[in-house]
Structures are given as structure tokens and as C-alpha cells.
Amino acid sequence: MAQDFQTDDPRLDPIHEKVLARERLSAEDALTLYRTGDILAVGWLANHLRERLHGNNTYFNVNRHINPTNVCVAACRLCAFGRKKDAPGAYTMALEEAWQAAASGYTEAVTEFHIVGGLHPDLPFEYFLDLVRGLKERFPQVHIKAFTMVEVAYLAKRAKLSTRETLEQLKAAGVDSLPGGGAEIFADRIRHIICDHKIDGDQWLETARLAHQLGLRSNATMLYGHIERDEDRVDHLLKLRALQDETGGFQTFIPLAFHPANTPLQHLPTTTGLNDVRQIAVSRLMLDNFAHIKAYWQMLSPKIAQIALRFGADDLDGTVIEEKIYHDAGATTPQGLRRQELVRLIREAGREPIERDTLYRPVVRTETSVTVSV
């Protein structure tokens, strides 16, 4: 494979050498990768690393999103999902409704519930503990990936508990891992503009550190394609890489392309396909200590996500029944893809589909049962 690398940008040659020698890339390398016109060479390098780690294996899961409430005290400019309590369209599910939502509308057995929502000013911590306990009782085999670092920090504040105690109680109630949302961009200057009411970048990282120390794995995200500079993206990636060196608790990195429609930033253009695949590739190359890079098809579109499988991504996320956050922000992708459609996208890219559970253990399905091989 090594001799196939070709580039018309000589600045990529030393990066190529580092990748072959398994050396860590620097902030300056990342800027070069963001700024070179030779996107195919960037893709080659990321693909090389992706195939070294995973060969042709490409992961997906069968999951269901549950957003218990869109009521949110924050008023983030990046968001089209959150509503004030009395605003039109605001909703909060009763516990029974949330449990029903978990069960409804899908015939294939899900292996994961992905649960995130707004920062509700009145819902007590007990609501969230009961929500999780009730799901575990009804669906004991399903992994519960719930509450971003931002939600955890807010629940801690409302319950007057430390973040550690909050995480401990969530874990005892049945939370198995945490999703990667709320990270946005760590740089203060950008964070103040796009999500001023959220915890800052250091608090996000500290909450993730605590979760990992308690044995809860998590994901990490980065929201790109709004007002951030290349330097801000690099700073974000390096902070995640440093924390991963320390805890090893991150499973997957998911770059999230900003969808401006229906947000206060709707004057901004959407990301381009080139920007999207480049971000996947730079993430793969810089986050050498993350096992997985996810091309989240819901927000990239199935078409770009499929191409991303040759630019460093090894995961497409899941069947995702009923996505709300991007669809409120104008996403035109379907709200869910059937298992067979995901398999077709992966096979067509020349990759091998592997259904996984949240912890990346292969899932074996027969006509009558679903087994996770450990």
C-alpha cells in the first residue's frame, strides 16, 4: 500500500512518513491537512490508518433515540431543538410515554437506547433515575447510552450533588455509557458565541474524566462548520487526544456537521461534502488513540457517510429511529434507515458490515434471537 501514495503537495510527504512510522501528528500537521488542496492524499493517509486498525470491518448498530424533553434553559445559537417551557412545540414526556416510545414503532430488536434532551428547569433528578430504571426493568438486554456531559453537569447542579455522585447514581440506576454530545468546540471564544449557557470546555472534559474513572465509557463529538477556525478544531482534537491518553475511556469520535436551518445562525452556509470528508480524515489521523471514527449518516447524509468509509471512518452509527435534533435544524435525511439499507451502503463501499453493540462487541442475529458475543 505504501508505494501507492502520491501527492502534488510536498508538505504532505513528511506527514506520510510519520503515518507509516506510526508517529503522532502535531498541531501543525493538522493545519496542513486542513489546508492542502490534495484531498485524495489526505484520504489515502486516513484510510491507511483506518485499514491498519480495522481492515475492512465497518460497524453499525440497531438503536433508538429517545429525547425525553426539548425544554431547555440554555438558548444556544447552534440549536434548533430546544424550547422554553411555555413556547409552542415544547414537550416533556411523562415516564410512561418515554417507556412506550422506547418500545414503539420498530420490529427489529434494538441493542441501544440513545437518550439526550434539553436542560429542563423543573424536572427533578429522580425523573431521570426513574426513566433509566424503568427502561432497564422493561428492556434489561438493551444498553443505555444516556445524557451528555452537559446534562450530567446540569443534573448535578439541580440535585445539589457533586458531578461524581451524580454519575454514580446514574450508573447505579442503569446508565451503561455516555454519548458524546455537548462538546461543540472547546475554545472559549467560539463557545461564548454558539453555546454560551453550556458548561465550558474544561468542565466538559472534567466530567468525561470523572465518568471514565467510574468505569463509564463515553463518546466524544465536535461540532464544526459554523464560525470556528481551523486552529479551534485542532485545539479541540488535541484536548480530546490528551484526555484519552490519560483515561482511555473514549470509544468513538463523531464529528458533527453544523446544520444552520431554524437556528439563530441560519445565515451561515451548510458544510460541503469536501469539508465533511476532510474532517473525518483529519479526525482519524489526529486521534490515533481513539479506536473508532463515526460517520454519523443522519447528519452527513447516507451518500457522504458512505464515501467517508474510504476517508477514515469505520462506523456509520445506527438505524436511529426518530432523530429529532438535526431534523429540527433542517436535515433532509430519513429519520431512520433499516438494517438492510445500512448493510447495503457498507457493502457497496467494498467494506464488511459488522453489527455491533454499543461496546463494539459483534451482535449475532438469528430468526428468533439476538446474541452479543463477548
How far apart, in whole angstroms, are the C-alpha atoms of residue 284 and residue 287?
A: 6
Closer residue to ligand V47 in complex, CB, 199/307:
199
| Angle 70-74-80 from CA coordinates, rounded to 5° | 50
Least distance between ligand V47 and beta carbon 128 (Å)? 17
Number of residues binding to ligand V47, judged by CB under 6 A: 23
- 45 in Cβ contact with 282 (< 8 Å): no
Tell whether residue 78 is a contact of ligand V47 (CB under 6 A): yes
Least distance between ligand V47 and beta carbon 77 (Å)? 9
Q: Provide long-range contacts, Cβ within 8 A and 24+ apart, for 15-23.
A: 15/45, 15/285, 16/41, 16/45, 19/45, 19/48, 19/49, 19/285, 20/48
Burial of 267 (0-12, 13-18, 19+ CB in 10 A): exposed
Binding mask 131-160 for ligand V47 (x = CB under 6 A): -----------------x------------
Residue nearest to ligand V47 (CB): 181
Reading the block at residue 196, the C-alpha cell is 454560551
Tell whether residue 205 is a contact of ligand V47 (CB under 6 A): no
Closer residue to ligand V47 in complex, CB, 57/219:
219
Of 325, 322, 271, the closest CA to residue 300 belongs to 271
Of the candidate residues 174, 179, 201, 255, the single one contacting ligand V47 (CB under 6 A): 179
Tell whether residue 190 is a contact of ligand V47 (CB under 6 A): no
Tell whether residue 181 is a contact of ligand V47 (CB under 6 A): yes
Task: For residue 350, count other CB atoms closer than 10 A to its CB.
Answer: 10
Kindly tell me the number of DSSP H helices and DSSP E strands found in the chain. 15, 12
Full strand arrangement of the beta sheet holding 112-115: 63-66, 112-115, 143-146, 177-178, 217-224, 250-257, 292-293
Reading the block at residue 288, the C-alpha cell is 490515533
Q: Show contacts with ligand V47 in window 257-286 (CB under 6 A).
A: 258-259, 263
Q: Say how many residues make up the chain.
A: 374
Least distance between ligand V47 and beta carbon 268 (Å)? 10
Tell whether residue 336 is a contact of ligand V47 (CB under 6 A): no
Binding mask 286-305 for ligand V47 (x = CB under 6 A): ----------x---------
Of the candidate residues 187, 210, 325, 337, the single one contacting ligand V47 (CB under 6 A): 325
Burial of 192 (0-12, 13-18, 19+ CB in 10 A): exposed
Least distance between ligand V47 and beta carbon 144 (Å)? 13
Q: Which of 7-15, 201-209, 270-278, 323-331 is the region at the interface with ligand V47 (rule: CB under 6 A)?
A: 323-331
Closer residue to ligand V47 in complex, CB, 25/280:
280
Least distance between ligand V47 and beta carbon 7 (Å)? 32
Tell whether residue 194 is a contact of ligand V47 (CB under 6 A): no
Binding positions for ligand V47, rule: CB under 6 A: 78-80, 116, 148, 179-182, 184, 219, 221, 223, 254, 256, 258-259, 263, 296, 317, 325-326, 329
